[in-house]
Chain A
Amino acid sequence: MTNSNEPDIVAFCCHYTAYACSQDLRNLPRLGFPENVRLEILPCSGRISIIRLLKAFEQGADGIYVAGCKDDTCHNIRGSRVAKKRVDYAKDVFDQLNIEPERIEMFMISREPNRGFIEVAKEMTMRIKKLGPSPLKGK
C-alpha cells in the first residue's frame, strides 16, 4: 500500500479537524494529504486512549499523531486537552523506553476550513523520515 521509503504513520483525528478542509475524505489525496498516513477518525480526539497509541506503535507504525481542535474551540470543550495529556503520557513512556518521544505528537488544529490538517500530516512525515524507521522494525 505505501511506498517502502515512506514512513508508516497513524493519525488519530477528530471528526471536526478531519472535515475541516474537505467535505469528503476521499478528496484528501487530491488535496495533498500524504498517502503514507493512515487516518483513524474519532468522534473527538479526547476519545483516544493510551493503549491505542501504544498498540499502533507495537503494530508497526513509525510515527503516530493525534489531531484535535485548538484548545478553546473543542466541540466537547476539553477533548483536545485530554488528548494532549494522553499523548504526553505516551511520550513519557517512549522516553523511558529510550525511544524518541518525537515519534508521537499532538497537533491542535483550527476547525475552520484550512489546510492545517494537510500540513501537520506532511510535517509529521518529514519528521519521521528524519528519525528513520521505528526501532521495533527489523527485529
Chain B
Amino acid sequence: MSSASNLKKVLTSGQFAVTAELGPPKNADAEVIRAKAKLLSGCADAVNITDCQTAIVRMSSIAASVVLMQEGLEPITQMTCRDRNRIAIQSDLLGAAALGLKNLLCLTGDHQKFGNHPNSTGVFDMDSIQLLQMVRMMRDEKVFQCGEEIKGKEPNFLLGAAANPFADPFEFRALRLAKKIAAGAQFIQTQIVYNIDKFAAWMKAVRDLGLHKKCYILAGVTPPKSIGMARYMKDNVPGLDIPDNVIARLQGAKDAKKDVQEEGINICVDIINKVKEIEGVAGVHIMAIEWESAIPEITKRAGLLPRPR
C-alpha cells in the first residue's frame, strides 16, 4: 500500500512549497547521490532528479530517484522526450511506479546538440504536452498510448511540467501553460527567475486565465555563485533573463571585498521573498547548480524552515 506523494500533500494543504534539484552523477556511483541527499535533508518537500540535463549522459533519473528515496527524501523524477520513444517511456514509467516513485516532471528536453553526444539521434516521438497527456491517460483512464487497457495496477504520478515566463513569443506563453494544464500538469516549475517584473507580468497573464487555480506554480530560483556564472547564464543559456542589477550587486560585493557567494545567497533569498508576494505563486523550486550546500542556508534565511512533515 503506497502512501500519497508528500509534495502533493504540501501543495494541496495550501502551504508554500519548496522543491530542490539534484543532478545525478556522470558515473555509476550511488554514493554521490547519498552525499547530496544529506545536504538537502529537511530543506525541501521533494527533490527533482534531472534526466540527462543539457543532453549530457548521467545516471538515469529513475535509478537516481530510487537511491534518493532510500535516503528518505522524496524525488521528483524527470522524463524528457529526447531519448526515448513512447514504448520506452511507458515501460520506464511502469517500472518507476513499481519502484515507488510518485512525482513526475514531463519535459521536452534539451536538444542533443548541447550535450556530450551531439551525433546521436533525437527521438522526440512526442513533445512534453503529449507526454503529459499520455501519462495522465495511463493513470486516470488506465490505458496505454495505443488505447490498450492496462490490466492490473496502473502507474500513479503527480504530474508536473516546466514553464518559461521569459521565452518568446511572450503573449503565447500563458496560453501554452493552459495547454500543459489541460494535458494533465498539476504543478509547474518555472525557469529561473531574476527579472521579477517580467515574471510578475507573466503571472498576471496566468491569473487572467485562471490557471493559478488549476495548478500549483513554483517559481524557479538559483543563487548566482559568482560573477562569471551570472555572466555566463546571461550570455549563453537560452531562455534565461538576467537583469544587469544582479551582476551589479555581485560586482559591488566583490569591489567591497565582501564574500560574493554570500551576496549570491542573499540575491536568491530576496527573490524568494519577492515571489512569495505575487498572487498565484504556490512555492519555489530552488536550483543550486553544483552548490547544493547553499540550500539549507537559503531556505533558512528565507524563513522556509522547518518543512512540514
Contact, chains A and B (beta carbon distance below 8 A) = no
Interface residues, chain B, CB within 8 Å of chain A?
A: none
